[in-house]
Amino acid sequence: MNQLNDSLLRLITETATNLPADVRKVLGRAGKLEREGSRSGQALNIINRNVDMAKDREQPLCQDTGMPTFIVHTPVGVNQIQIKLAIHSAIEEATRQGKLRPNSVDSITGKNAGLNLGPGTPVVHFEQWEENEIEVLLILKGGGCENKNAQYSLPDELPPLGRADRNLEGVYKCIMYAVQQAQGQGCSAGFLGVCIGGDRTSGYEGAKQQLFRDLGDTNPMPELADLEERIVRDANTLGIGTMGFGGGVTLLGCKIGAQNRLPASFFVSVAYNCWAFRRLGVRLDSQTGEINRWMFRAENPQRMAADEGIPTTGREIVLNTPLSEADVRELKVGDVVLLNGPMYTGRDALHKYLMTNDSPVNLEGAALYHCGPVMLKDEDGRWHVKAAGPTTSIREEPYQAEVLRKFGIRAVIGKGGMGKRTLDALTEVGAVYLNAIGGAAQVYAENITAVDGVDFLEEFGIPEAMWHLRVKDFVAVVTMDSHGNSLHADVESESMIRLGELAPA
């Protein structure tokens, strides 16, 4: 199978950079459903532009290239060990080429060896089948949406929907509750794979399997087909919208399957996938490893964005970093800003570090970006940004308020919003939270004009290091201001009221 390595590298590269045909179709339709000029409408325009850029440049759609998960079907007699080794070698090469971010971290030491290999990484499931070809399916599901997966054990109480019993109405309540709880943190508008039944492990596996169904298919079980439709329709009345900005497009697809269960158990497992729904497949010749055909791939994809430039409205507020208190006190929730100047990245490891240590750079007035970029070093030792969208900010909630107070930071940039402790600190010190568009990693990479330096690269690894960036026209929405207002809190409470209205009387 001399072609196997190349075929697998091609599969990984295409999956990371070229959104599947069925996903493009529903995303394109969604753009027309949001009000022109609304925050969600502008976010969808930026997402569509990002999809085009990723394909054109063959660069990652999102900087979080997720946990590579392969499902492999082999004819009887094919050597699965050889396939597994080829997958590992293709993963390593794709990581070297910057198609995958080094995402595999030792859970005990916190070390990132940088190659996306290690215990549990990548995930590979093998099954034999009666066909002559090898089928390899791959999904790259990032951490932001993976953290929004949910599993329920019925019966359960799910306020404001009431008791979820062991029947399809109970399943409906679990799924709707999961969507409301996710808000925009999993980079809505999202897609759901759901499994009814199984045990705790097979339930989650079954839910992820559903993500490999074509978005245009119809569930062969009529009652599940009805439920899938009802979920998408009702979820889009919750008002969460793209990125949780409020709007009419919250969910783009829902696929539900069922497995037998133990009499004592009734699990409902929900796998939430962000808009950057990256999954493709190939059928390989079992003698040569050559690709015979692709699955889900957009062969000659249509342009997703109406224009070539970054979608702006002309009403954006232009700001230069470092920011003054007066700059940020002027800003209100809903304002869209374009940032210019220095910006620093910082995620979990840096926030924890800053709690008890000094910063290696002066952060007075700084913009701190919750981002773990994909970076590549050239032969001259210069770093280049390959993908740089925001990460989920709520993880930094235990640290953010203290870091804001200690260092005089004026803008925190991320996605999905933060909690009450951060909101109070923003008000106290005069700072804002800016929501960037999750997954728009190519758009933001384009906005980064220089890499001025890096700290903690050895200690924390590429995604967690503190990168010193210089940005131009970096677009973000003020979703938490310095006057105690939070768009996230408003959308969350309004969507909870609407969820309650969906409960049967």
Which residues in this chain contact ligand SF4 in the complex, by CB under 6 A?
62, 64, 66, 142-145, 186-187, 274, 276, 389, 438-439
- In DSSP notation, 145-213 reads HHTT-EEEESSEEETTTEEE-SSHHHHHHHHHHHHHHHTTTT-SSEEEEEEESS-HHHHHHHHHHHTTS
Instruction: Assign 237 to helix, strand or coil.
Output: coil
Joined together, the tokens standing for residue 225 give 């087909």
With beta carbons less than 8 A apart as the criterion, state whether 104 and 111 touch. no
With beta carbons less than 8 A apart as the criterion, state whether 322 and 423 touch. no
For ligand SF4, the closer CB: 184 or 257: 184
- What are phi and psi for residue 112, nearest 5 degrees? -110, 110
- What are phi and psi for residue 475, nearest 5 degrees? -95, 135
In sequence order, what are the residues at sequence separation of 6 or more whose Cβ sits closer than 8 angstroms to the Cβ of residue 221?
258
Beta carbons within 10 angstroms of residue 90's beta carbon: 25
- In DSSP notation, 390-432 reads PPBGGGGHHHHHHHHHHHT--EEEEBS---HHHHHHHHHHT-E
Q: How far is the CB of 484 from ligand SF4 (least distance, A)?
A: 27
With beta carbons less than 8 A apart as the criterion, state whether 213 and 255 touch. yes
For ligand SF4, the closer CB: 275 or 344: 275
CA dihedral for 18, 20, 25, 31, sign (positive or negative): negative
For ligand SF4, the closer CB: 145 or 448: 145
For ligand SF4, the closer CB: 409 or 436: 436
For ligand SF4, the closer CB: 210 or 219: 210
For ligand SF4, the closer CB: 351 or 395: 395
Joined together, the tokens standing for residue 234 give 């009702």
Q: How far is the CB of 337 from ligand SF4 (least distance, A)?
A: 20
Q: How far is the CB of 448 from ligand SF4 (least distance, A)?
A: 17
Q: How far is the CB of 461 from ligand SF4 (least distance, A)?
A: 17
For ligand SF4, the closer CB: 184 or 419: 184
Q: How far is the CB of 189 from ligand SF4 (least distance, A)?
A: 11
Q: How far is the CB of 146 from ligand SF4 (least distance, A)?
A: 8
Q: How far is the CB of 103 from ligand SF4 (least distance, A)?
A: 10
Q: How far is the CB of 389 from ligand SF4 (least distance, A)?
A: 6
With beta carbons less than 8 A apart as the criterion, state whether 449 and 470 touch. yes
Chain residue whose CB lies nearest ligand SF4: 142
Q: How far is the CB of 143 from ligand SF4 (least distance, A)?
A: 6
First to last CA, the chain: 61
Q: How far is the CB of 266 from ligand SF4 (least distance, A)?
A: 29
With beta carbons less than 8 A apart as the criterion, state whether 209 and 258 touch. no
For ligand SF4, the closer CB: 135 or 396: 396
Q: How far is the CB of 395 from ligand SF4 (least distance, A)?
A: 12
Residue located via tokens 């131009």: 472
For ligand SF4, the closer CB: 20 or 389: 389
Nearest CA among 310, 455, 436, 476 for reference residue 383? 455
For ligand SF4, the closer CB: 21 or 276: 276
Q: Give the span between the Cα atoms of 62 and 51, in whole angstroms.
A: 9
For ligand SF4, the closer CB: 219 or 392: 392
